[in-house]
Amino acid sequence: MYITGWRLGAVSAQDVVVGIIAEAFVDFVRRLCECERLREAHSRDLELAKVADEVTRAVSEGREGEFGPVVVKVQKKFLGRREVRASLYGREVDVDTLLAELSKARSRAAWLNSDCSEGALIEALYKYEDRYLIEVAQRNFDKFKKLCSGEVPQVDFGEAPGHVVEGVVRGVKTYLSGHGAGN
């Protein structure tokens, strides 16, 4: 006997829910790993954005200093004038180029910090309306990053029910078997 395409007894409700949790988890980890790759690819922008305000202030005040990947030098000129020179990652650049790079870095960092924040990534799980899955993701967020390099994390499930535990375990296996790092 078939009901809407399902044969009675072939798939239990528990199996369906576990499958949904596993798929949700795999989607979550894919996005998490994509964000980790983006953070790595834009690590210079993130580093530069951290010092952007200090560098901008130093340039406007004509103050020398080393700010992470940026070095600001001031040369005194005739009649009290000064010339500000800068180097970015060891390469000499003019001030306008430096300020443009700072602006780009701030923009990229803001985008990454927004779209790839823990809250934004976990929010994608809200549509599954399983608070236990969300709690497991929050509690183990940093541990799940290990999946991106192919490692199996030690997950703290807390008081999560069996369907969440089984779904996450199945999701980990699915991700690592065919959708892991590099795929």
State the average pLDDT over residues 3-8.
Answer: 47
Asked whether the beta carbons of 149 and 45 are under 8 A apart, the reply is: no
Residue the block writes with tokens 């790092």: 181
The count of C-alpha atoms lying within 13 angstroms of the C-alpha of 148, restricted to the half-sphere facing its C-beta, is: 18
Q: What's the pLDDT at 117?
A: 95
Q: What's the pLDDT at 5?
A: 47
pLDDT per position as a tens digit, 147-157: 999 999 999 99
Q: Residues 143, 106, 51, 114: what is their CA dihedral angle, to the nearest 10 degrees? A: -30
The contacts of residue 67 (CB under 8 Å, 6+ apart) are: 51, 54, 55, 58
pLDDT per position as a tens digit, 59-74: 998 899 999 999 999 9
Put residue 105 in one of left, alpha, beta given phi > 0 → left and psi -120 to 50 → alpha.
Answer: alpha
Q: What's the pLDDT at 82?
A: 81
Partnered with residue 99 across adjacent β-strands are none
Residue 181 has pLDDT above 90, yes or no: no
Q: What's the pLDDT at 10?
A: 64
Q: What's the pLDDT at 39?
A: 96
Domain boundaries, the chain: 13-42+114-178, 45-113
Q: What's the pLDDT at 2?
A: 40
pLDDT per position as a tens digit, 94-135: 999 999 999 999 999 999 999 999 999 999 999 999 999 999
The contacts of residue 103 (CB under 8 Å, 6+ apart) are: none
State the average pLDDT over residues 163-178.
Answer: 94
pLDDT bucket at 179, cuts 50 / 70 / 90: low
Q: Name the 3-class secondary structure at 50.
A: helix
Residue 83 has pLDDT above 50, yes or no: yes
What are the φ and ψ backbone dihedral angles of 151, each rounded to 5 degrees? -90, 150
Per DSSP (E only), the strands in the chain are 2-3, 6-7, 65-67, 70-76, 82-88, 91-93
pLDDT per position as a tens digit, 8-62: 556 788 889 999 999 999 999 999 999 999 999 999 999 999 999 999 999 998 8
